[in-house]
Amino acid sequence: MRFSVPHTTRSLSALILALPLLLGAAAASAAPHKPGHAKASRKATPAPTAKPKADTDSEFVNFAEWKQVGQFLDDIAAKHQFDRAELDALMAKVRYVDSAIQLMKPAPPGKPKNWQAYRARFVEPVRIDAGVKFWNDNAEALARAESVYGVPADIIVGIIGVETVYGRNTGRFRVLDALTTLAFSYPETPTRLARMEFFRGELESALLFARQGGVDPLSLLGSYAGAVGLPQFMPSSILKHAVDFDGDGRIDLRGSAGDAIGSVAHFLVQHGWQRDLARPFALPVAVSPGRAWEPFIGQGLEAKFRPDELLAAGVSSDTPLPGGRLFGLVDLQNGSEATEYWLGSANFFAITQYNRSYFYAMSVLDLGRAVQLARGM
C-alpha cells in the first residue's frame, strides 16, 4: 500500500506449485514498537531493479485551462499554502494519458471469474524464485517487521511479490500524469464522479508528499492508477501508513526494501491485522447441497460469523473449526469448474483491505507459503 541461503532451482519452484496451502503455526510475537522509529542493525537490501522508463503514451493537454482543474488548484493552494504560480507551472508540464483511461474501463461482461487461472499468474516459478532471493536478502528486515507488527514474513513477501515481483514491475507512468488524467477525465461509468473525487484526493496527496520529501513530483513513476514503489501504495497511503523502517530518516518505497517491508506490515496492522490470531488464516470447507449457507456469501470484507452459525448452515470442514474466532465465507469461482469455498479469518480480510479481492488475498497467502517452502527446502 514513496517520494523521497542459496537461490532455489526452477524445478524446485515448479514442484512447489503443486503443493497445497499448508497450515502453519502462528508466528511468535514481541512487544509492540512505535512505527517509523525502528533502527536496523543492517540496512535491508533493496530489490535489484532496473530504473523504469516513463510511459510515452501521453499527449500534451493544457490542464491549467480546464475550469475544474483551476478550482482544484485554488482549493489546495489555499488549504495547504502551495504557491499558486508554482502549481500552474507544474500543471503546464502534466500530460494526458489515454492508456490510463482505457485501462480503467470495466472488462467486457460475460467472462466468468476463474480463481485457478488468476492464481497461476502469481504463484509461478519466476515469482517464487524472486521471492526466495528477496527473502534471503532482506531476512533481517522481515524478521524485525514480524517482531514489531506481528505480521509474518511470508505475508509481507506474498504481497510485495504479487504487487511488483519484488520491485521488477513498479510501473512506468508518471504519477502526476496518471492521477490528473483520472481525476478530471475518468471514463464514463456508474461510479465516475466518486472515482474522480478519489483520484483528486490522491493527486493532492502526491503533491503533499513530494513537497514533504523535497522530490520533484514529475519524477515519480508508478502504475496507471498512480500507485508507487515496491508495495504499490497510493499517495494517500504513503502519507498515512508508510514508515521509515530502515532508519535513514526518510521514507523511500521505490529504493528501500526495508521501508517497503515495514510499510506493508504497518498498513495491515492499521487495517485489522491481529498479531495473536493463529493460523490458518484461510481454511478450505465444503458446503451442503441445501444451500442454507448462501446468505453468508457476499457479506462484506470482514470476518463476522461464528463457527456454530456456519456449521448450522451446512458449512463443514475436515478439521474442527477453532472456537472463539469469527470467519467470513469466501467463494472462489473457477469458471465452468466447481467453485471452491473457504473460511477467511480476520487476518485474511485485513489483506483484502490492500486489494479488495478474495482472489488477491488468497494469492498472497499461496505465494508467500510457496516462497517459504522453496526457501526452506
pLDDT digits (tens, 9 = 90+) for 201-258: 999 999 999 999 899 999 999 999 999 999 999 999 999 999 999 999 999 999 999 9
Query: C-alpha angle with apex 21: 19 to 27, nearest 5 degrees?
Result: 125
Cis-peptide, bond into residue 284, ω within 30° of zero: no
Contact (CB, 8 A) for 43 and 246: yes
The whole-number pLDDT of residue 133 equals 98
The whole-number pLDDT of residue 258 equals 98
Contact (CB, 8 A) for 146 and 266: no
Each residue's pLDDT expressed in tens, for the chain with a length of 377 residues: 433 333 333 334 443 444 443 333 333 333 333 333 333 333 333 444 444 555 546 677 889 889 999 999 999 999 999 999 999 999 999 999 999 999 999 877 777 899 999 999 999 999 999 999 999 999 999 999 999 999 999 999 999 999 999 999 999 999 999 999 999 999 999 999 999 999 999 999 999 999 998 999 999 999 999 999 999 999 999 999 999 999 999 999 999 999 999 999 999 999 999 999 999 999 999 999 999 999 999 898 999 999 999 999 999 999 888 888 999 999 999 999 999 999 999 999 999 999 999 999 999 999 999 999 999 86
* Residue 86 is a catalytic residue: no
The whole-number pLDDT of residue 223 equals 97
| Catalytic residue, candidates 163, 197, 204, 302 | 163
The set of cell numbers assigned to 60 is 500534451
The set of cell numbers assigned to 6 is 542459496
Query: C-alpha angle with apex 172: 93 to 182, nearest 5 degrees?
Result: 60
The whole-number pLDDT of residue 54 equals 53
The whole-number pLDDT of residue 321 equals 86
Alpha-carbon gap, residue 254 to 160, rounded angstroms? 12
Q: Where are the beta strands (DSSP E) in the chain?
A: 59-60, 95-96, 173-174, 221-222, 282-287, 315-316, 328-334, 337-344
